[in-house]
Structure 1
């Protein structure tokens, strides 16, 4: 019996979605599986429709309009269509990434070998020539999945995953009806919270280093300020995995100690831009954890004025 894999792709005014779709068109389906692609346009206007419908397609592509400038709305629209199709698996990829032809094969191979429900792969950043040296050397924009010990046990396993590169069992699973948090749809971290929820439902996680995707770093993201806001938000999102108030209290205590350590290390490293920025960004992550434990609102990092203007320029270009 053939199983269905639906690849979910959300887009907002990015011409790069064409390159993403072209790379998906070259995908090889694992034996016994068929592929379809669902694209949700998060813009109020149908700004991406002509790009999606005009892109090279070897697999069926469905375009849906999910206007809100809220990525969770678009993600939930993709999940709803996959649910209606009774897709056995869903895969997540971003609209500024390209995938190798064996991407799904590698993720599925890892799923079969481990029996895992969610399999993550790395998202490798491709930096422009004018990117700051310290940013490239420390590779702040790549996303490398890692194994972590869950807060409630000592077992070493992933607690979460990211929607930039993941494959997930779907139809008939306990989490089939789980949705992305709308409140996190403009701040980011909605995927972290989503996969944390799956972890608490019993989903098993694995990592496939052999299934990378590749992403060009946009010019507006080459600023220290953008990374600082993102790291702080990542810390806040991490708290969503804490299973109760006691776990949050422990997290807050650990975060305070880590913030203090990073502040001291940063002061010592002041003469070196590379080391100074490293400790600053590391400290902001832990400061974000502390803010999350205190339930402070998350900053908007997607859909703000700078990002909207940059997106508009890419559309016109």
Structure 2
């Protein structure tokens, strides 16, 4: 008689900082179709100075009907919270979802199915932005806030933590943690996955593993997008600069400068079309960030502020 196979395990990790929307995130997770053959739990890492999310988590724990682990991970540094989740989990897989997102019914099951089919160390899913009525029309039409992986020569070479499943036993993930130095600037996930891939880990994509993300009014602004694109470029520039010195780095600076100039110039012929114009300008801002990162400019701080650095002027 064959022995009964023991269920494998998944911890769904949520890092939070003063977001009441956390309740919607957790309720959506509890309402999912759970993948067969897996025990599922939740790990919450509270990044606030004091454990402000603990009463909400305690209140919801009974309602969720899933094992819930709460960790206070203070310092307003998102990497500390992400690492606290990894340290608290002893499961076969860890999934990350943001505290302002909601899971669709098949989210986790789709990620797991892709992981089983591909054997990849990490599986990414798409994030669909949900705009409020007051969001600019060009932003809605261009869908500037949704997230999906970037493919380079048929491969995904880096990732994000807003929708991902990690195979913790993978050699490329063994003992790997998020950079504390990037915990307030952002880009800690880009670096994490970049290093994982360089260590031999493979990233797969699960196109049906959707999560939804509501875009608050403060983020529905051109200069918020601009700051975000610039910081993304800075991170990419810093990563490029690690392996490029002397003439090789100058070449990278030249390439990024040319791409920025081309993007800005490309906005001129389509100036009447706000979607195409703003997309070109934002692409130019991103490449300008790459130049900034390559020459060693310190990355702008996005997280850990006493009030969210999210406001800004709207573009037409």
Per the normalisation by structure 2, the TM-score is: 0.89
Runs of 5+ consecutive residues of structure 2 not aligned to the other structure: 1-5, 312-316
1:15, distance to aligned residue in structure 2 (A): 0.3
Could you tell me which residue of structure 1 aligns to residue 244 of structure 2?
245
Residues 181-211 of structure 1 deviation map (CA, whole Å, 9 limit, x = unaligned): 1121111111111111111111111101010
CA shift at 1:239, angstroms?
Answer: 3.5
1:84-99 equivalence runs, <5 A: 85=90, 87-99=91-103
Q: Structure 2 CA distance, aligned partners of 1:89 and 1:135? A: 35
Alpha-carbon distance, 1:62 to partner: 0.6
Q: Which runs of 4+ in 1 moved over 4 A?
A: 246-250
**What residue number does 1:285 align with?**
286
Distance in 1 separating the partners of 2:309 and 2:138: 26
Partner of 1:3: 8
CA contact (8 A) 1:193 1:240 kept: no
- Residue number among 123, 140, 145 corresponding to 2:144 in the alignment: 140
Match of 1:62, SS? strand
Aligned positions of 1:71-90 closer than 5 A: 71-82=78-89, 85=90, 87-90=91-94
SS in 1 for 2:112: helix
The 8 Å contact of residues 123 and 215 in structure 1, kept in 2 or not, is answered as yes
- 8 Å CA contact retained: 1:231, 1:285: yes
Q: Secondary structure at the match of 1:142?
A: coil
Is this contact kept in 1: 2:125–2:206, CA < 8 A?
yes
**Partner residue, 1:232:** 230
Which residue in the other structure is 1:62 paired with? 69
Task: Determine if the alignment matches structure 1 residue 27 to structure 2 residue 32.
Answer: yes
Offset of residue 88 of structure 1: 1.0
Q: SS of 2:286's equivalent?
A: helix
Partner of 1:158: 156
Alignment equivalent of 1:102, drawn from 99, 106, 129: 106
Cα deviation for residue 116 of structure 1 reads 1.2
Q: How far 1:282 sits from its partner (Å)?
A: 0.9
How many residues align? The count is 301
SS in 2 for 1:69: coil
1:160/1:240 Cα in 2 relative to 1: closer, same or farther (>3 Å)? farther
Aligned residue for 1:207?
205
SS in 2 for 1:245: coil
Aligned-residue CA RMSD (Å): 1.9
CA distance in 1, matches of 2:310, 2:112: 38
Once the two structures are TM-superposed, the CA of residue 304 in structure 1 deviates from its matched residue by 3.5
Q: Which consecutive residues of structure 1, in runs of 5 or more, have no partner in the other structure?
A: 150-155, 311-317
| Residue 3 to residue 173, structure 1, CA distance change in 2 (3 Å) | farther
- In structure 2, the residue matched to 1:168 is 166
Do the aligned residues in 2 keep the contact of 1:186 with 1:302 (CA within 8 Å)?
Answer: yes
Give, in whole Å, the separation in 1 of the partners of 2:39 and 2:164.
Answer: 17
> 1:272 & 1:204 partners in 2: Cα distance?
39
Residue 220 (1) aligns with residue 213 (2): no
Instruction: Please give the alpha-carbon distance, in whole angstroms, between the structure 2 residues aligned to 1:268 and 1:301.
Output: 33
Distance 1:294 1:77 in 2: 33
Shift of 1:248: 5.0
